[in-house]
Chain A
């Protein structure tokens, strides 16, 4: 169960995600999709109930193996695209090398923008920059909050393919969306949030 401002947001939900699954969280505006995802990401406490990750592993393993991408993208406007990626890798304790970063940017369609400041990118491009972290960090669980917002037709199509590929490789994706027909068709589980 989740709460926002101390009020119960939605009726209790319970679900299990296995490798190779895509879970779509749906519900009207204000239903608490973001809150649920942030709770799963460990950014806010659970008010009741519990979360567990592979019987013999603890919560930190979950944090280490999952990647969360929220509404706030986490790009620094004053840094260039490559510097943003370098920073993310560094705080995760990974080694950064430039060609790897360039490759990730190329994959999300940002080639040519490597040295552009993130603040100069368009909204869709900023989203792509944030998504490129998924490729670099290679975590097996993705938590994506409204990943399709701001992306154009081609971007959405590319993201579908990316998610599909990730799932086929045994990864899992939990995402929120409201009217993406295609993603609903791909989903192996739906979680509909309802009034408490």
Chain B
């Protein structure tokens, strides 16, 4: 277990040294959110109506731009070969890399979401569910992103392809997640949505590491 923790720890240290990996998605979200009032008009009512969806979509897009490099650097500098040679199980190594990615991008996104919510006049009652739904969903982003990243490690610019590959997979997550926030904002219970989101999380944790491992194996051949 300690051996896998070492991978996560090293990734955290590497991201911490680079910093850009942490603040880039947040700055990106802030930039886009500014465009909404500019394009829609600053009426609090209009913004409040679209806010659950926008906060969610921004969290998704913010993560999407960071996915490409989850495995690419490791593939290019030979670290992936090192993991295989050290006898590590690839799916487990993938989980620890996804964990590091989640800590450096998912967690900040969850913590940052209320700020985006305030800017968009998200109804006060919805903040708890917003953070809870993102807390459940951001690990899914990281894991599915790991699959997309693993598929595209061999490509020089795989960013667009990665989005094409990952987007259909993320559609259900968006439906449940943004739905949960919307229902709460409308004064309904979001329990069903959140349960489905948890189900999606469990399904992803069980399947995604193996899919990513298969992709990496093919890519290393």
Contact = CB atoms under 8 A, between A and B. Distances in A.
B33 to A, nearest CB: 30
Interface in B195-221: 220-221
B3 A79 contact: no
11 contacts: A42-B84, A43-B85, A45-B221, A70-B81, A71-B78, A72-B77, A74-B77, A76-B79, A78-B13, A79-B13, A90-B3
Interface of A: 41-45, 60, 63-64, 67-68, 70-79, 83, 87-88, 90-93
Given A43-B220, A72-B78, A92 B84 contact: no
Contacts of B220: 43-44
A43 B14 CA distance: 26
A43 B220 CA distance: 7
Nearest to A60: B87
Given A67-B85, A79-B14, A91-B83, A73 B6 contact: no
Interface in B72-88: 76-79, 81-88
Interface string B5-34: 011001001100110000000000000000
B90 to A, nearest CB: 12
A25 to B, nearest CB: 18
Binding site secondary structure of chain B = helix
B40 interface: no
Interface of B: 2-3, 6-7, 10, 13-14, 17-18, 76-79, 81-88, 220-221
A68 B6 contact: no
6 A-B pairs with the lowest CB-CB distances in the bound complex, closest first: A72-B78, A90-B6, A74-B78, A74-B82, A91-B86, A78-B14
A83 B6 contact: no
B77 A75 contact: yes
Given A45-B221, A83-B13, A91 B88 contact: yes
Nearest to A89: B6
A63 B86 CA distance: 7
